[in-house]
Structure 1
Amino acid sequence: MSNITLFAMPGSCSRVSLILLEEAKADYHIQWVNLMNGDHKTAEFKQINPKSKVPALAIAGEVLTENPMIIKYISTQFPKANLLPKVDTGLAEYQQISDLCFCSSTIHPLVTRFCIPTFFAEESCATSVKEKALAALHEGLTWVEQRLADSTWWYGEQWSAMDAYIFWIITRLQRCNFSLSDLPNLAQHTENMLKRDSVIWALEKEKLANQ
């Protein structure tokens, strides 16, 4: 039996960890958590993750939370999968973590504000929240768009965990009618991701969980 369990919800940001585990061909178990039913608020789940969030990664009885650290852990445990580029200096490694934090702390909160503005404001103010999130998203994603102008993936021609995180961001936004008409490189990046085996397998597992 695997000593790795991913607590996840289909469509949520736990998709990033799911893709990485598939990419690494890891032996792991999935425990689906239905946020819409309030599973994350139960006393049972709070014993696993008192932050009441997914993803959470249980490793031999210990639980790791927060996307950048889960991603870093999976990358370190499965070095042959090359989930993050090998680097020569400590500073370069910190830069990789900084990239992941850009997704988690800068873009990710804006995704929620764009898709579910009523989480943050009364209905009368929701439109304003969404509009401000949209403006900030375009600013942040324009940088990503420019970075992808001359390469297939975030780190040039090497696929990485950053590409999985960017993919989740874009596909989550697309479910909320976010347009990529002004972001052709990101649109192509999404198409490229959808052809990758690890992504296909991860999406299939989410699909089965929703049935």
Structure 2
Amino acid sequence: MAELTFYTNPMSRGRMVRWLLEELGVPYETRVIAYGPEMKSAEYLAINPMGKVPAIQHKGQVVTEVAAICAYLADAFPQAGLAPAVDSPARASYYRWLFFGAGPMEYAISNQACGFVPDEKQRRFVGYGSMAEVLNALEQVLSANDYLAGTQFTAADVYVGSQIGWGMQFKTIEPRPVFEAYWQRLVARPAAQRAAEIDNALLEAKG
């Protein structure tokens, strides 16, 4: 087994991790897991008991959940510069927005896609208030900075940026000018383009 193994499906959030891996520029083995019986097989459930992708296995250790994978890989391969140094003031913003993406943003988008819009009373305990508040918070930080942690592109931009880009594509996030400009900066990155080419080729081969 390779030192770094990536379990994914090209029609999943694994595309975020693929992009991050291409940013790292380190060797990795890809294992495409099909939806259905293979993803729920005993063999794959031993990797991820949730029976979903993506997941990674690095030096014998398994990491699941995209935000956790992003944070782990950025720290495991510091030479790529995908996380601010521990003693950098930008580290606070990096953590803040990475986990904002995994918490309020993810919940708001998922609830909206499922047709649940919290009323005024429910907004007090859903953890994100409303979709408008989530988007306003993101617009505020991206109006002041090119990237979520300031001037440095990080793993937080891979994760949150992907959600913004896909959200605009599938019309779950309104295409505000700030978001469109941010997404164009991200997709211009060579690693983002390589990752998309790899996963799109897997989709074509499958279809």
1:105 correspondence with 2:103: yes
Residues 65/157 of structure 1: CA separation in 2 closer, same or farther (3 Å cut): same
Q: Tell me by how many angstroms 1:93 deviates.
A: 4.8
Identity %: 26
Using a 3 Å threshold, how does the CA distance of structure 1 residues 34 and 110 change in structure 2: closer, same or farther? farther
Mapping 1:181-200, distance limit 5 Å: 181=175, 183-200=176-193
Could you tell me which residue of structure 1 aligns to residue 13 of structure 2? 13
Instruction: Render the CA deviation track for 1:132-160: whole Å, top value 9, x for unaligned.
Output: 59x83321121111101122111222111
Contact 1:111–1:172, Cα closer than 8 Å, also in 2: no
Is the partner of 2:98 in helix, strand or coil? helix
SS at 1:101 equivalent: helix
Distance of aligned partners of 1:111 and 1:24 in 2 relative to their CA distance in 1, 3 Å threshold: same
Deviation, structure 1 residue 92: 6.9
Considering only aligned residues, what root-mean-square deviation do their CA atoms show, in Å? 2.5
1:202 match: secondary structure: helix
Q: What CA distance in whole angstroms lies between the structure 2 residues aligned with 1:39 and 1:110?
A: 30
Instruction: Please name the residue that 1:114 is paired with.
Output: 112
Distance 1:85 1:144, change over 3 A: same
Give SS of 1:102's match: helix
SS in 1 for 2:56: strand
How many corresponding residue pairs? 196
Q: Find the aligned partners of 2:93 and 2:171 in 1 and give their Cα distance.
A: 32
TM-score, structure 2 as length reference: 0.82
TM-score (norm 1): 0.81
Map Cα deviations across residues 76-127 of structure 1 (whole Å, 9 max, x no partner): 12111110111317x9756643432211122123323333x2xxxxxxxxx4
* More helix per residue: 1
